[in-house]
Every structure is written in C-alpha cells, then in structure tokens.
Structure 1
Amino acid sequence: MRDDIDARLDLFLNDTPLMDVRAPVEFRQGAFPNATNLPLLDDEQREAIGIRYKEAGQQSAIELGLELATPDIREQRLRAWSEFARAHPDGYLYCFRGGLRSNTTQAWLREAGINYPLIRGGYKALRRVLLDALSTRLDSQPLQVLAGPTGSGKTELIQAWPTSLDLEGRANHRGSAFGRTFTEQPSQIDWENRIAIDWAKLDREPHGPVLVEDESRLIGRINLLPELQSRMLAAPLIVLEADIQQRIDRLKTDYVRHALAHFEVAEPEAPFEALRDYIANNLHRIRKRLGGLKHQQLQDVLPQAVQGLEKHSDWAGFEYVIESLLTDYYDPMYRYQLEKRSHLVIFRGRHDNILDWLARQAA
C-alpha cells in the first residue's frame, strides 16, 4: 500500500497520472496536463453545498453532501475512480486543498477494496510547487530571445532546438492578428502550469541558456508573465533572417492553407466564402495601424484573391496581400522594435546557421 504524499515537482517531471476530484468548473479554470477530472461533486452540487456551508456551517454542508450522494451517483463515481485506479496504479488523487473531498473519495475507494493515495494540500499545494519552480528558473536561468520578421520561421527553429520553450505552441496561438489556430486556447493558469513544467523538464537537457521566441505582452488572450517579459526584454537577441519569398510561402501555409483546410471541414458548403470573411475580419482588426487607404485596398483585392485560388488555384492575389502586409505593416513594426534593442543582438543568421551556432555555444 502506497502512502499519501506532499505535493512535489517530480509528479510533473515524471508525468505521474493524477485524479482531480474537484468540480468541472474548477478544473476548467486551472488544471495540470497529467490530470484527469473525475469529480466527487458536479458543478450544481458543489454550488449547493457551498451555499449550505456559508448559511449553516460545515456539519450541515456535510449532511447535504451525504443526501446528494444517492446510490446511483455513488456507483457512478466509484466506477470511474476504480477504472482510473486500475489503469494508473502509480497515480494519486487530490481535491482543492486535500481536505474533505479527497478524504471522501479515498474512503469510498477503500470501502470498495482499493487503496489509492492522495496528495496532501491538493491542487493548491501542487500549483504552489509549479509557481515556485517557475520563479526559481526566472531568477536563475539565463535566457536567449529569438527575434526575426514575421514569417521567418521562428516557431520551427524553437521546436528544433531542445533547450527552448514554445510559448506560442503552449498558448495555441501564433501571436499575431492572424494567429488563432481554430482550436481553443488554454486558460491562463493552464498555460502557466505547462510552461512551468516544460521549463523544469529542461533541467534534463545540457545546461545552457533557454531559447524563447520574442513576444509581445499578449499571445492571443494569454498574458505573458510580467517577470518573464521583463527578463526577455533584457536578454541577448538572436536574429533569424529569411528571404521575402520564403516568408510569403510560409505565411501562405500558416495563414491561408491551414485556414482553408479548417473551413473545408467546418463550412463544407462554402469554405472559400468563410476564408474570405475570416481574412477580412483579421484585416479589419488592424485597420488603424494599416491606415484607411491600405486597409481598403487590401479589402478590395481580397475577393479576387479568393476567387483566383478557388477557380484557378492561382496564389497571385494572396501573394500580393501577404507581401503588402509584410512590407507595410509587420516589417516596419519589427524594425522599430529591433532597433530599440539592437545593442542586445549577439548573432544573426538563417535557420541552419543559428542551429549550428547554438550547438557550438552549448558544446
């Protein structure tokens, strides 16, 4: 029989299976990547018991919980917990603070002949472990920041270098006006948890600076941690270079081909119309920075670009739109921001040049 344990970092480093018995609403607000939500109470039951606790105290809330635990509900919960315990004999269970819900779950399992350990302190203690781990690395781990113009392939380079953090990948967003990926972004807390775990796992790689992509304060709706952004603004810069045609070709894939593939499934009756509306809405979001004349010009060209692609597989219209966005919108912003930190640049090169340079630095 395994004993109950305190919250600790190796639970995340080893991807230990975790049974989260909090209510679904709590799980959605913040959870861990190696956790499965098998709640003791559903959202309505949790709310009712919370109200009873405030109005009549703990004992009355416990009594209400026992009333709500009908034989059918108890059987459903036990079946789910038992299946998890058998599938993951090395796992642990927890609730928010490691209190009543964890102990109740553990007791019901024990009555069913299954001894399954819990994590003392629950979710709150586990979250504190990750925040402390992240804070430690922010204070001590050197960073290098990968800069480069839009479409230069920064994400591919981040993913190719083992000692790196993929901030955008974990945020499920490419970090620009056209950056959403048609799947939901994680909650802010989930993103922070994943970044903390990713960074802690980098301790297994050869020691050296951690590479991150240059980011603004927001990645979609995810807020970059202020401490991380502050470190990044002062970190050495590595500048990725690429030809304009390479960038256009990459953005055709990232912003048009992927979007069209999505709409062919989501809007099968009119995927090209959906693509046009999607791009038009994104252009509208940056109209002030584009300027009224350029914004209207691109909006006027867009229907012909979509029609050329649909009728003739002709990318010329989109190449014009993408190149205009790069030269008139993205590149001026990039050059302005880079100039302010030009004194931090330690290396410039193309994808393979940078990987070779990083490897030499780490040797």
Structure 2
Amino acid sequence: MELIHSQQNIREILATDTPLIDVRAPIEFNQGSMPAAYNLPLMSDEERSAVGTCYKQQGSQKAVELGHQLVSGEIRDRRIAAWRDACIKNPQGYICCARGGMRSHIVQQWLHETGIDYPLVNGGYKAIRQTIIESTKELLQRPTVLVGGCTGNGKTILVRELPDGIDLEGIAHHRGSSFGRTLQPQFPQATFENYLGVQLLKKSSHTARWVFEDESKAIGANSLPEPLRHKMATASLVVVSDPFEQRLQRLKHEYFDSMTRDFLRCYGEEQGWLAYSEYLHHGLSAIRRRLGSQRALELTALLDIALIEQKKTGSTEAHFTWLCPLLNEYYDPMYNYQLDKKQERIAFRGTYSEVFEWLTTH
C-alpha cells in the first residue's frame, strides 16, 4: 500500500495541487500546511496532548494503547467515514501526517480494512516542508526583476498580469502598508512560505525568470524567506511612475471603495461600517509617531470628516483630503528615499503601460 516518494515526486504532488489528507492534529495543521491539504485528523488536539503526556510518563506502548482507547467506537467510525469520503472524492490524493509515521499508517490500515487502498507521503509533512525550502532556494537562483514605484502605481496589478509574476501580497493576504490588511487573515509564517514555494513550483516549468513587487523584509506579519530577501537585495528594478491623479483613483478603488464593500458584505451594514472605520483609523494610528502627533491629529480629524461625508453621500473622494497629504508628506518621501539607495539597479522607468511593455519584451 505504501508508496515511497522522492523529493521530485513531492515537487510534482505540490505543483499539480494533488490533494493531501492531512491527519495531524488541528494545532499542527494550523502552524503549517499546504495549499491542497485539508485537515481530517486522527486525533483532536486534546487527544494528541493526552497521548503525548502518556508517552512521556509511561512510554510508547501505553501511549499507543491510550490512543486506540480515545479513538474508538463511534469516534473512530466517524473519522473513518470522513477519510473514506475524502478518498472517494480525491482518488489521486495522499495521506500525510507529521513524519509519515504511526498516524498515517494507522489511517492507511483502517482505510484498507474498509476496502480502500490509499498511498501516503513517506516522511510526511516534514519531508514536504523540506522539499519546499530546498526547491524555493533552488528556483530563486533564476534571474529576478523587481517592480518598484510609489504607492498607487498599480505594481501588484502589474505583477499579477505577468506569466512570470509572483504576487507576494496576494499570498500574504496583506498589501504591505500600514493600511495593508485585508479581510482574509494572514497565514502562519510556515504556511506563507509553503504557499509561496508552491507558486514557484507551479510556474517553474514555463518561465525562466521571476518578477516580484519591490517589498520590504516583511508583508504584514509574514517575513519573506531568507533566500528571497537575499535575491531581492541585488535584483534589477523597474520603476512605475504614473500621474498623481491616476494613483489616487487606484487607491480610492482599492482602499476605500473595495474595502467598504468587503466590510459591509462580511459584517453587515452597522458592524461593517464600524469595522471599516476602525480599519482606516488603525492604519493612520500605526504611523502616528512618524507623522508627528500634531500632524496625526490633523489627518485623523480629516479622516473623521471624510467618513461622515462617505456615509452621507456614498462618495469616497472626501478621503483625498487626508490621503493626498499622507502621500506627499509620508509615503512618497519614504519610498523615494529607499529608491535612491537602489539607483544603480534601476533598469527602466516609465508609466504602468510602458513598464508592462518593457517587461513583456525583455
């Protein structure tokens, strides 16, 4: 029944979104998982903890006996039924536990007793995780171009449109600024790295280079993997520079129009509006020290007026009263200061369409 997989086999499993029945406890799954994995645990967090305590105090044999006691009867039947359904829906999948050890073998054996033979990943999540780390390091050796420019120039949109573009902010569920959070929670660090690694594997067969947005060392709570930070430190750079008014319209759509719609859809009218307001206030508060307390108070007052106007008329353009000075006094000077340090690496400058054309022809 068991199939032993080389690292190359695991790469193929990941690149093709082959389903993984991950039988680790939820707490383990939530610390790190793969895009095509779904959690159908052999033991709950509480059961796993009890077995672990027993193992430390009484040894392996007693721990195994306790595990079988805890997962028996109706509990065992329900879990087997869930695994059977998953196997039938995903006949090409694999079972995965922490290290390809006892838990995945138990699940495999129980399924076999019901007439289903289903393979497991030798080495489990640990082997998959190691494959991700090694393949990411290897694939990042390819030529890399960064897309830079002040906020509102459509860098993320441009990267998404390129066949060799990797949308780091999309993977991170965060737009990278103090206003960058989305309604999707960010992944744990290991899961973020896993999703990034899988994206690289998926695109690796039809591209010879990578295009990333010029990011700092972290996107919200997710840090870029060390090999990527190292590569970005020396990569060529193309800089998007669109007219200020065009940038404002992009930011209006992304941070005000879309976020209002998302919050209201998610939480309803009253709570959604409060959550949207809190989101904007939190973003401004996060950079209060850099703005200076007096300027932060002034912009917050303009934000409050803009929110009243938006609620009354539905228009988000009133937010320009605080967004424009925020761009001119904080975000643009900060990015231009950082860009000055990278002058020798700039390969091209232009508008969005000019940069897009340059990237697709070079």
Q: TM-score, normalised by structure 1?
A: 0.95
SS class of match (1:186):
coil
- The whole-number CA distance in structure 2 between the counterparts of 1:283 and 1:240 is 25
Measured in 2, the distance between the counterparts of 1:179 and 1:355 equals 24
**Contact 1:146–1:237 (CA<8 Å) still a contact in 2?**
yes
- The structural deviation recorded for 1:348 is 0.8
TM-superposed CA distance for 1:273, in Å, is 4.7
Q: Is 1:251 matched up with 2:251?
A: yes
2: CA distance between counterparts of 1:157 and 1:262? 22
Q: Does 1:234 align with 2:234?
A: yes
Q: Which of 8, 11, 19 lines up with 1:9 in the alignment?
A: 11
**Structure 1 residues 186, 332: closer, same or farther in 2, change over 3 A?**
same
What's the counterpart of residue 83 of structure 1? 85
> Which runs of 5 or more residues in structure 1 are unaligned?
none
Separation in 2, partners of 1:293, 1:187: 36
Q: Residue 20 of structure 1 corresponds to which residue in structure 2?
A: 22
In the alignment, is residue 129 of structure 1 matched against residue 134 of structure 2? no
Contact 1:251–1:322, Cα closer than 8 Å, also in 2: no
Cα distance in structure 2, aligned partners of 1:67 and 1:122: 24
Matched residue, 1:157: 158
1:45, 1:68 within 8 Å by CA — same for their partners in 2?
Answer: yes
Displacement of 1:242 in angstroms is 0.9
The aligned counterpart of 1:191 is: 192
**3-state SS of the aligned residue for 2:270?**
coil
Contact 1:272 1:306 in 2 (8 A): no
Structure 1 letter corresponding to 2:32: G
Deviates more, 1:89-98 or 1:250-259: 250-259
Q: Secondary structure at the match of 2:186?
A: coil
Percent identity of paired positions between Structure 1 and Structure 2: 39
Q: After TM superposition, give the deviation of residue 312 of structure 1 in Å.
A: 2.8
In structure 2, give the amino acid aligned to 1:159.
R
Distance 1:273 1:104, change over 3 A: closer
Q: Which residue of 2 aligns with 1:214?
A: 214
In the superposition, relative to structure 1, how do residues 115 and 284 fare at CA in structure 2: closer, same or farther (>3 Å)? same
- Aligned residue number for residue 37 of structure 1: 39
User: 1:276, 1:302 within 8 Å by CA — same for their partners in 2?
Assistant: no
Structure 1 residues 296 and 32: CA distance shift in structure 2, 3 A: same
> 1:73 maps to which residue?
75
Residues 279/4 of structure 1: CA separation in 2 closer, same or farther (3 Å cut)? same
Counterpart Cα distance in 1 of 2:101 and 2:226: 33
Separation of aligned partners in 1, 2:278 and 2:357: 42
Cα distance in 2 for residues equivalent to 1:264 and 1:69? 42
| Equivalent residue letter for 1:250 | R
Q: Is the 1:5–1:117 contact (alpha carbons within 8 Å) kept by the matching residues of 2?
A: no
Summarize the alignment of residues 202-351 of structure 1 with structure 2, pairs less than 5 Å apart. Answer: 202-207=203-208, 209-265=209-265, 266-269=267-270, 271-351=272-352
Structure 2, gaps ≥5 residues long: none
Which amino acid letter does the alignment assign opposite residue 141 of structure 1? R
Q: Secondary structure at the match of 1:113?
A: coil
Using the TM superposition, give the Cα deviation of residue 170 of structure 1 relative to its aligned residue in structure 2, in angstroms: 0.1
**Do the aligned residues in 1 keep the contact of 2:30 with 2:188 (CA within 8 Å)?**
yes
Distance 1:71 1:314, change over 3 A: closer
**Per the alignment, in what secondary structure is the counterpart of residue 212 of structure 1?**
strand
Structure 2 SS opposite 1:164: coil
Match of 2:95, SS?
Answer: strand
User: How far did 1:226 drift?
Assistant: 2.6
- Whole-angstrom CA distance in 2 between matches of 1:225 and 1:206: 21
Deviations 1:300-330 (CA, angstroms, capped at 9, x unpaired): 2122211222223444431121111110110
State the shift of 1:356 in Å: 1.4
C-alpha RMSD of the superposition:
1.6
| Shift, 1:31, TM fit | 0.5
Q: Matched residues in 2 for 1:328 and 1:337: separation?
A: 15
Structure 2 contact 99–125 (Cα < 8 Å) conserved:
yes
Cα distance per residue 1:243-293 (max 9 Å; x no partner): 111111111121111222233241522654543333222211101111223
| TM-score between both structures, scaled by the size of structure 2 | 0.95
Provide the C-alpha distance between the structure 1 equivalents of 2:167 and 2:271, rounded to a whole number of angstroms: 34
